[in-house]
Amino acid sequence: MMVDEIITVQEDAGFKKEKVSYKNDYLTAVSARIEEFVRNGKMDLIEREFHSPATTSAEVSLSRYSTESPAEKKQVLHLGSYNYSGLNGHPEIINASIDAIKKYGTTSSGVRLLNGTNDLHIELEKRLADFLGMEEAITVSSGYAANLAVLGTLCQAGDIVLTDMLNHQSIVDGLKLSGAKVIPYRHCSLKSIETTLKNYRHVTRKFLVTDGVFSMDGNFAPLVGIVELCERYGVKIIVDDAHGTGHVGPFGKGVCEKLGVTEKIDIIIGSMSKGLPGIGGFIATNSETANILRAAANPYIFSASIPPAVSASVIEAIKILESNPEISRILEEKTYYFSDKLRNLGFDLLNTESSIIPILGRDEDKVFEMTRLLFEKGVYVNPVGYPAVAKSRARIRINLCSSLTYKELDYCIDAIACAGKTVGVI
């Protein structure tokens, strides 16, 4: 339901009020789809409300669109959280956050280049750089802003940028700002990449950007092969490892570390709201590039810096990850256990290699019905449909957390099996 703006237009001797609609064909279709979702109850499951910390279990009710009044609060096992490391709610992190608020207040009240930098930002960025094995790191207000900062600043008219066709929307939007020639390649296809690079040998400035862990399918970018091709053809590599940091690889250092290619990657972009339990994004790179971004990247220059409590939280989280290698190891073991059980039941999990586990349902109605059945059984999962994925690729997306117990996983597996059979996914 779009808002119409009232404007006044002169008409001969008088004035007439007219409505000017913001709608175009695309927005009309969006509005109609929302209305349809409200009518059939699918919107009940979108923007569900949390009434407790979003840890391995949580108290949740249906969304504000629900006709159920008042909405019942249900205790659920949370299989939809980006809290891969299980560090959200960790007592040492909470204490660090509280101490930072007491010392610095709730905000830095400024942008980084003026009055928005405090010593926590400097410490956080140094710890991030060391953790990731890069020279420097920059923090910005979100992972989305980090992609806009890198791609909109470093990639320019006259450049070419190769981008995986399933890259995150923030990469798509960042490339729109760049002015560069954007060339999508087939998902994770080294052959497609090389074919393109052969055709653009003559171009001096070439970039390749890819998700590290693909957020909808859960698979890794083929970074070893990408590095080999990019070295051969003189291409800068940018990896968005938003879903890898604090999740995969030794100590949760991400997919670049897991695949042993960190020193070959020019820029690692990531999030501090997933495996790292805060908010904001980061850019890890060499010192020269970091200085350019500080001076020229609009999302860094024109956005307020991240709050002190978040800086302190992420600093503490990195300390915990560095001293507890079992966090990422246990998560990997539980992921293999969970995925194998579901595959043996007949579910299609695509080619996931991570704790992002898609259950392909194909039919959107079945996916939402299965999500509802699981919610009723006390299991929280996320339904994903068009436009986030193709219309024929609707799915449930599961994100596992390191602190889920095997008993909890077994309960969820049984509930998923029952719901899957009921709706005909298996």
- Catalytic positions are 215, 243, 274
337 Rama sector, left if φ>0, alpha if ψ -120 to 50, beta otherwise: alpha
A 10 A CB-CB count for 242 gives: 29
How far is residue 35's CA from residue 23's CA, in Å, rounded to a whole number? 15
- The token duo for 46 is 């979108």
Q: What are phi and psi of 35, to 5 degrees?
A: -60, -40
| Residue keyed to tokens 């957020």 | 215
Amino acid letter, 197: L
How far is residue 170's CA from residue 141's CA, in Å, rounded to a whole number? 13
The DSSP symbol for 295 reads H
Hey, is 264 helix, strand or coil? helix
- Residue 283 contacts residue 125 (beta carbons within 8 Å): no
How far is residue 136's CA from residue 128's CA, in Å, rounded to a whole number? 8
